[in-house]
Amino acid sequence: MKILVCMKQVPQKDAPLKLNEAGTWIREDVSYEVNEPDAFALEEALRQKEKHGGEVVAITAGPARSQQVLREALAKGADRAIHLEDAGFVGLDALNVARALAAAIKDEQFDLIFTGLQSDDQGYAQTGVVLAELLGWPHATIIMQIERTGDGIRVKRELEAGFFQFVDMPLPAVLTIQSGINKLRYATLIGIKQAKNKPMRKVTMAEVQPALGPNLQKVERLHVPQKTRNTEFLEGAPAEIAKKLVDKLRNEARVL
Amino acid sequence: MADTILVVVEQREGKLNRVSWETIVAGQALARETGWNLEAAVAGNNVSGLASEVAAKAVTKVYAIESPKLATYTPDAFAAALKQFIASSQPKLVLMPHTYQVRDFIPKLATAMGRTVITDCIGFKKEKEILLFTRQMFQGKFAADVTFAGDPPWFVTFQNGAFRADKIESGAAAAPIENVNIEIADAVVRNRPEEAFKEAKQAVDLTQASVIVAVGRGIKEQKNIELAKQLAEALGGEIAASRPICDSGWLPMDRQVGSSGQTVAPQLYLALGISGAIQHLVGMKGARTIIAVNKDSEAPIFEIADYAVVGNLFDIVPPLIEEIKKVKPAS
Ligand SMILES: Cc1cc2nc3c(=O)[nH]c(=O)nc-3n(C[C@H](O)[C@H](O)[C@H](O)COP(=O)(O)OP(=O)(O)OC[C@H]3O[C@@H](n4cnc5c(N)ncnc54)[C@H](O)[C@@H]3O)c2cc1C
């Protein structure tokens, strides 16, 4: 099976984030990492390849820094990578990102495309599903298991509140992968070395531009969310805080 | 003709998902703000009963969108049916709850119509005749005001809990119901879903617990879970966790709190090293008292905590256990 994995670089989980001057986005001088569900999507693609053979290709759209996620993917075992490299990709809405990805792979024939189910930064939860529609392929979201059947696949979708559901579907298809579907591997030293010689195709904004349209939604501004509860911050040395907490547990929460 | 807001309510196996009422409340608020008409639709097979349930609320009309192909949910059939209906009825704004089902098909629907959807919104405002929809970004660290830059219909989904279902207005009289029969060709529907099922029998029922100590990724290593267990024991409570802890197998799945785990409402919820992602918060924000310990003063968990401790949980928890033992001798 030939599998494409769409991956995104996002700010590191505990990176302190600051707003840019216009208040429309964050300041970009933070540390980045692979969007977590995308790491699980890559792992799943590698496992499928180990079982059924084929090829795993990683793709990302973003500025030069985002090449790091492709390097990591190659080091973990992806066969090659595609980098839509331009800072302008950060400002595209989900529809345009999906259009750019579709344009970049128009001469390829994949059996499966994986994306993470949503990104840790924008959290639109759209790119995979939009991509499926643009390609005219079936899709399934929030996937926790994938098996090959005769001429298609059988996937396990996570539903709300602890429910699941199996779905049979034909190939080619797009799946959005949920964190926790598998256990992530680490890149080995050999893998990191080999990654340097693996092919990385660069795609410019100009090449995919004809496929894009105007953004249909616009982030006007970002702000710090409003608190919904009156939070009391307890301060002091740990021993003092412990005493204050016990006081709250007794007299406010009344559980002691 | 006046502009219309259309709320598409969610049904599964002939039952309305309660979160649909919240979306109708959002629609009622938007209708007041804009002066637009509020209509509702329910899609499925034999849904006229559900349509009349919705028609009792303050909406001007309810559509029962029906096809045998809508009997079980598939993204192909739902997107096809709603596309046909929306293309002919031309609402300005289409609202749905941000459920697993809706997020599975609404990006497809919007794309098929050459439109966009602003997902997972927590509110809206109107400034100078322009509607802005507020949604969280960066895992709740920021909120963003987002506008539509293209033509209607504009699609919006609202987060679970963003509006209060008990604020719903009933209509003076039942709204008229119109049946809309949709033809969907066989080849359109490609997925073949099976029945939904629950994975494992639940060994613990956290919904009954009055005290819950919950751990998140801040606990760092599996062996440190023991420390949280000691705290839970000292308080006579249950141990629970955020999703990554259960994904890693450090605690069993039935101890997971959140949208894909259990929804709890204890007297006390003590969160250790949990950032407060919305999918976790929906499962515990009904707790009477929330205490959060997190080393990051900007962690979103503090937005809903009653008592907050900014600090290292490994410094705070051991003396806390000692203090509790002083006032509450082990039983
Ligand atoms: C469809 C979907 C469904 C989901 N369902 C659920 C669900 O049911 N339940 C759920 O919980 N999540 C769920 N999630 C995942 C959710 O989005 C978050 O990823 C998850 O809740 C994060 O868990 P966490 O807070 O433990 O980890 P993180 O977000 O990594 O937070 C760890 C926190 O620990 C703090 N910390 C680190 N070290 C220390 C220390 N020494 N002392 C004190 N604090 C420390 C950090 O500052 C940080 O805030 C779901 C996601 C999706 C997309």
The 10s digit of each residue's pLDDT in A171-184 is: 999 999 999 999 99
More confident residue, B12 or B57: B57
Q: Is residue A99 part of a domain?
A: yes
pTM, to two decimals: 0.95
Question: What percent helix, strand, coil does chain A show, rounded to 5?
Answer: 35, 30, 35
pLDDT at A227 (0 to 100):
75
- Report whether B299 contacts B276 (CB < 8 A): yes
The 10s digit of each residue's pLDDT in A32-48 is: 999 999 999 999 999 99
Give the position, in ligand 1's atom list, of the atom nearest the Cα of A142.
1
Cβ–Cβ gap A255/B210 under 8 Å: yes
pLDDT at B203 (0 to 100):
80
Chain-wide mean pLDDT for chain A?
A: 96
pLDDT at A230 (0 to 100):
87
Closest Cα to residue A119, out of B295, B135, B20, B293? Answer: B135
Chain A contact for B291 (CB, 8 A cutoff): yes
Same fold, B4-188 and B206-327: yes
Closest Cα to residue B136, out of B159, B155, B113, B115? Answer: B159
- Does the C-beta of B219 come closer than 6 Å to ligand 1? no
Residues forming a β-bridge with A218: B147
Statement: residue B71 has pLDDT above 70: yes
Looking at the structure of chain A, the number of domains it has is 1
Q: Whose CA is nearest to atom 23 of ligand 1?
A: B242
- Percent of chain B clearing pLDDT 90 (strictly above): 92
Q: What is the DSSP string of A79-106?
A: SEEEEEE-GGGGG--HHHHHHHHHHHTT
- Report whether A29 contacts A138 (CB < 8 A): no
The 10s digit of each residue's pLDDT in A135-182 is: 999 999 999 999 999 899 999 999 988 899 999 999 999 999 999 999
pLDDT at B330 (0 to 100):
58
Read off the pLDDT band of A239 (50, 70, 90): very high
Interface test with A, best of B78, B108, B290, B293 (most A CBs within 10 A): B108
More confident residue, B239 or B330: B239
pLDDT at B328 (0 to 100):
81
> Which residues constitute the domain of residue A201?
2-211
pLDDT at B329 (0 to 100):
67
pLDDT at B227 (0 to 100):
97
Q: What are the domain boundaries of chain B? A: 4-188, 206-327
More confident residue, A13 or A129: A129
Read off the pLDDT band of A228 (50, 70, 90): confident
Read off the pLDDT band of A246 (50, 70, 90): very high
Q: Select the CATH number that applies to the domain covering B206-327 from these four: 3.30.420.280, 3.90.550.10, 3.40.50.1220, 3.20.20.70.
A: 3.40.50.1220
Statement: residue B115 has pLDDT above 70: yes
Cα separation, A49 vs A66, whole angstroms: 24
Q: Which residues of B touch A167 (CB under 8 A)?
A: 191-194
User: What is the CATH classification number for the domain harbouring A79?
Assistant: 3.40.50.620
Among candidates A16, A95, A219 on the partner chain, residue whose Cβ is nearest the Cβ of B111: A95
Q: Is residue A22 part of a domain?
A: yes
Q: What's the gap between Cα B229 and its chain centre?
A: 29
Beta strands in A24-181 (DSSP E): 32-34, 55-62, 80-85, 112-116, 139-148, 152-158, 163-170, 173-177
pLDDT at A161 (0 to 100):
82
pLDDT at A229 (0 to 100):
77
Residue range B4-188 forms a domain whose CATH class is alpha beta
- Does the C-beta of A14 come closer than 6 Å to ligand 1? yes
Distance from the alpha carbon of residue B217 to the mean position of ligand 1, in angstroms = 6
Q: Is residue A66 part of a domain?
A: yes
> CA of A126: which chain B residue's CA is closest?
B107
- Report whether B117 contacts A133 (CB < 8 A): no
Statement: residue A188 has pLDDT above 60: yes
Cβ–Cβ gap B147/A218 under 8 Å: yes
Statement: residue A226 has pLDDT above 90: no
All residues at 6 or more sequence positions from B279 whose CB lies less than 8 Å from its CB, including other chains = B243, B258, B259, B260
Distance from the alpha carbon of residue B273 to the mean position of ligand 1, in angstroms = 8
- Does the C-beta of B300 come closer than 6 Å to ligand 1? no
Read off the pLDDT band of B272 (50, 70, 90): very high
- Percent of chain B clearing pLDDT 70 (strictly above): 98
Residue entry with tokens 């290593």: B221
Q: Which residues of A touch B323 (CB under 8 A)?
A: 242-243, 245-246
Statement: residue A225 has pLDDT above 80: yes
Read off the pLDDT band of B18 (50, 70, 90): very high
Give the position, in ligand 1's atom list, of the atom nearest the Cα of B296.
47
Residues forming a β-bridge with B126: B131
Cα separation, B301 vs A113, whole angstroms: 34
Distance from the alpha carbon of residue B278 to the mean position of ligand 1, in angstroms = 9
Statement: residue A96 has pLDDT above 90: yes
pLDDT at B12 (0 to 100):
87
Closest Cα to residue A171, out of A134, A140, A141? Answer: A140
The 10s digit of each residue's pLDDT in B224-247 is: 999 999 999 999 999 999 999 999
Distance from the alpha carbon of residue A29 to the mean position of ligand 1, in angstroms = 24
Read off the pLDDT band of A106 (50, 70, 90): very high
Read off the pLDDT band of B331 (50, 70, 90): low
Q: Shortest Cα distance from A77 to chain B (angstroms)?
A: 22
What three-state secondary structure class fits B246? helix
The 10s digit of each residue's pLDDT in A3-33 is: 999 999 999 988 889 999 999 999 989 999 9
